[in-house]
Amino acid sequence: MTIALPARAKLNLDLEVVRRRPDGYHDIRTTVQAIELHDLLLIARADETALTLSGLSVRNNDNSVLKAHAAVEHAAGRKLPAAFHLHKRIPPGSGMGGASSDAAAALRGMRAIFQLDLDLEELAADVGSDVPFFLHSGGAARLEGRGERITPLAAGTTWFALAWPGIELSTKDVYKAWDQVHGDGLRPAAEHLEPRLGEFARRLGPGWRMTGSGSAFFKLADTEQEAKAAVAGLDCWKAVSRAAA
């Protein structure tokens, strides 16, 4: 049996970095909306664990799918060999949560194909700060702490124009930069780390916001046509998506 799971992207509609914690992580407050743009993860039982990739290029080493698989094996206390195929549509290092969403899909898929009785919420928090939100594969929420404190919100119906400059940013590195520059949200830190991001934002013009730790930007639109018009003249990776319930 092979199962296929969507791993949806997310947008941070707002984001406040509260403080750097003693453990090196950061407390945040953010409103997050899942969108219909998604990666696709196929999972099947196998003789040995392997991961293949297609779509957008992504580094295979330390992939979040394999990290999630290892966490499930550890929790189950036995080997659970699985074949994964990940088709990437969410740009890597863009702040749209692709890696965390992929990990959450792997957790859900592993529990299903091996019929495991595991608390995925606890596992998800260990795999990554954003992973608990993606376990539910849709909707909107207010996230606090490292992102593990989740308050569900009513999902929006908004359309979004999306633009990515092809620059991969490490979330860890952007937060380290925030420790130096602080600022409102993470955009000043991201631009400090990667000055080309500021020039990209200026080319986009007014109304665009950076999501997460960057480097993708989004613009709200009332209709699909309005979102398409917003990306029509852009010379970069671009897409139109809408809120996912």
Q: Taking a C-beta distance cutoff of 8 angstroms, is the pair 76, 114 a contact?
A: yes
| Nearest one of 39, 19, 37 to 29, comparing CA atoms | 19
Instruction: List where CATH 3.30.70.890 sits in the chain.
Output: 159-242
Q: Which of 39, 88, 102, 130 is catalytic?
A: 130
Candidates 3.40.605.10, 3.30.1280.10, 3.40.50.10740, 3.30.230.10; CATH matching 2-153: 3.30.230.10
Q: CB under 8 Å to 105, separation ≥6 — which residues?
A: 5, 6, 7, 39, 41, 65, 134, 137
Instruction: List where CATH 3.30.230.10 sits in the chain.
Output: 2-153
- 173 given a catalytic annotation: no
CA 48 to chain centre: 27
Report whether the peptide linkage leading into residue 170 is cis, meaning its omega lies within 30 degrees of zero: no
Handedness of CA 51, 56, 62, 67 (dihedral sign): negative
Q: Which of 10, 39, 88, 219 is catalytic?
A: 10
Candidates 3.30.450.40, 3.30.70.890, 2.60.40.10, 3.30.420.40; CATH matching 159-242: 3.30.70.890
The pLDDT of residue 137 is 66
Question: What is the pLDDT tens value at each position of the chain, 245 positions in all?
Answer: 899 999 999 999 999 999 999 998 999 999 999 999 999 999 999 999 999 999 998 865 568 999 999 999 999 999 999 999 999 999 999 999 999 999 999 999 999 999 999 999 989 989 998 999 999 867 999 999 999 899 999 878 899 999 999 999 999 999 999 999 988 799 999 999 999 999 999 999 999 999 999 999 999 999 999 999 999 999 999 999 999 98
- 10 given a catalytic annotation: yes
52 token code pair? 């293949």
